[in-house]
Structure 1
Amino acid sequence: MKSLAPAFQEQVAIGIVSMNNWEWPQGVGLFALYSYYKETGNLAIRDELIAWFDSRIAEGLPAKNVNTMCPMLTLSYLAEETNNPVYLALCREWVTYVMEDIPRTDEGGIQHVVTRNLNEGQLWDDTLYMTVLFVARMGVLLQEDRYLQESIRQFLVHLKYLTDVKTGLFFHGWTFLGHHHFAGALWARGNSWYTAGLVDYLDMAPVPSGVSQFLLSSLERQVRTLAELQHESGLWHTLLDQPDSYLETSASSAFAYGILKAVRKGYLPERYREIGMKALTGVLEKIDEAGVVHGVSYGTGLKDDLNYYRNIKQCPMPYGQSMTLLLMVEARRMAT
């Protein structure tokens, strides 16, 4: 799990290119690798994941926030599988922080506090993937219903404030301080956190049928619009409704993964399979002979200018590799 782009100059201090950091890109990558291990039974991958966590724990973990929470999802699975008391204790400590200490917005939403930025009063769609999946997972692992109920509340609060009722897509963020959606960006990767995250959430969280029906109806409405906006290549623009913005691979991979898995699980009608397969074809075209995924946008904050999103640089990133890996795992399941 080495750096994907050692020659690329980091644009942020937290370090999101190298796999030797504890942040959200690495967390997404870890979960994809764990999913690949569970699908293939390759114990070498599990051992590599354990070695990664042991090294980071020995170095000392960073401050807790929404994004640094992301690696904890994979650690929760390893804690259960290995019965390692250190892993379990860390999972308990970090989920307790979410439940008791993490900053909140109005209506109890998890404020998207990240390293060096409090983002006061802000909801981001990224939060559902980075933190809420872990909370749900810990509810199952510890048999704590209040954790599951909290995960449900977060999905509902985020959908309430981030859904674009005209399209069924999701805005990147909302602020309770100014009561607006900033630039009104229908940002692809932000949308894809829901598409990919929901199908995994429903795998890990036994939510009531009324809740799952609501969440899945939101997914279908989103996917219906995605089908209309899909480029002939199979990919989607980084601003979904802005054809002058570039095509972006990480979001396209996550969309394809979520759509194909939802069809396989019976969450979406069979007619959407074609959309996912077209995206799969487009993503495969972005993988070079060394297995590096290209056309991936760098880390993207929440801004009030659409040109900011258009001008984000592209380079290989851990989450580009990992969302593509999740898609490959799903494609493998479809073929067997």
Structure 2
Amino acid sequence: MNRNKTKNFYYGDVGIGDQFPVTVQSMTNTDTRDIKKTIEQIKSLEAVGCDIIRLAVPDMEAALALKEIKAEVNIPIIADIHFDYRLALESIESGVDGLRINPGNIGNIERVRQIVEKCKEKDIPIRIGVNSGSIKKEFLEKYGGVNVNSMVESAMEHVRILEDMDFKKIVLSVKSTDIDMTLKSYEKLSEIIDYPLHIGITESGSIWKGTIKSSIGIGALLARGIGDTIRVSLTGDPIEEVKVGKQILRALGLLNDKIEVISCPTCGRTRIDLEGIVRKVEEKIDSMSKPIKVAIMGCEVNGPGEAKEADIGIAGGNGIGLIFKKGKIIKKVKEEELIDELVKEINKL
């Protein structure tokens, strides 16, 4: 999949830009001032593959806590700052790997300049994050409300502030809760800048509904080559955000870190517990890192043919199952032996 060309740089030791893999971010929902709980949550996010983590910094106590948190975790930390430039400066001193600020909201230009000079000194990027709820009144009036033009113009105002200070390590986001507006905003922005883009659907909702909404929006952008880092914004455990984000990348072929399982939706010909078999197989192979495709089909008549592009698969019915490789049957086994025999064959690959 071809990606739009962008600038390339680093959050800590994690690259961002078109020359690096698309990364998955999340944001802690602990109180950053609670150092122990925040470290625990970040470690749990690291365990499911989070690449970059963002932390809210509401006051100076939180900014000072970042130093201890940073020392105990492995992934880059981005400090999320609103309005108070002193929190940004203290976060930088605490060792963060990036900032999320909107320069136009920080105050007078000299305050912004202090932040920019510190970021240059420490070699850390700044993400400008515009969403449909944070557009300046000036642009709402100029463009007739919240729309693509007011979103993009708001982002570009912040960009110009940083560029005027010769700062170019910029990441941009223009998120909306509306999928169509989000897609069009990122498309327009990607035509006029070459900075890496952080993509997502903001405030997308609960884990179930938000997963669907985010997958559509993020997937559509990535399929068009737009996007260098993603965050799935869900109301719930941030671990779910990372799991969904990783799966979006896998579905698009942008991440090949696990075995891909394909399975049929079942029909009236199904004579085995396909749902249970799929669940058990996924549990057994979840920790395997093989770039292969496994098919689990509910019909021994059509299964091998329908899943012939899979590296290996099973199809079952009436108490028996077939194991096949590249569509060719290699053995017939009893249904109760099907899962174990499949795992044995996967281990041989």
TM-score between the two structures when normalised by the length of structure 1: 0.27
Q: Which has the higher contact order (CA 8 A, sep 6+)?
A: 1
Q: Which has the larger radius of gyration?
A: 2
Higher helix share: 1
